[in-house]
Amino acid sequence: MTVFKLTLTTLLVSTVVTGSAGAAAPAEAQWSWPLSPKPSVLRTFDPPDKPWLSGHRGVDLGPTHDGAPVTAPSDGVVTFSGLVVDRPVLAIEQGNGLKSSFEPVTSELKTGDAVRKGQVIGTLEPGHCSSATCLHWGVRRGEDYVNPLGFVSDMRPSILLPLH
């Protein structure tokens, strides 16, 4: 029985640490929220079953106000700052194959600029959520989108231990 519990615990912890398209981030990768105070989640992560299908490849945070400061959730390097279609987007490479994108965010930062966790990286513009000003935050690990909330929330499973 103890072997089964240990195996189940190992499986649960392994699932959280290794992750998948919808899984949590590694426990050691604790980031900060890109908006302050801690925002509400207006729309959750809902990745498509196939890369070409529609889905929600990030989370919408808010509501907040136009011009709200957006901060870097972790240290990184800017890999893109500009318009995508008609919306200002900022992308930051955080290392270990992780890249965050923020929209609609205007920024004075340029590709190659280093950023520190908590540093203001830009200002929030209207235009993403129809009913409120919100921030769309996406995170990719390589080519796979992952749930950004796993980097700022404690998503580890509860583990019951024996009393004796």
pLDDT, tens digit, 9 for 90 and up, residues 62-95: 988 888 999 999 999 999 999 999 899 999 999 9
Q: How far apart are CA 92 and CA 100, in angstroms?
A: 5
Q: How far apart are CA 95 and CA 73, in angstroms?
A: 13
pLDDT, tens digit, 9 for 90 and up, residues 97-139: 999 999 999 999 999 999 999 999 999 998 788 778 899 999 9
Comparison of pLDDT for 50 and 112, the residue scoring more: 112
CB distance 128 to 134 below 8 Å: yes
Percent of the chain with pLDDT over 70: 76
Comparison of pLDDT for 119 and 25, the residue scoring more: 119
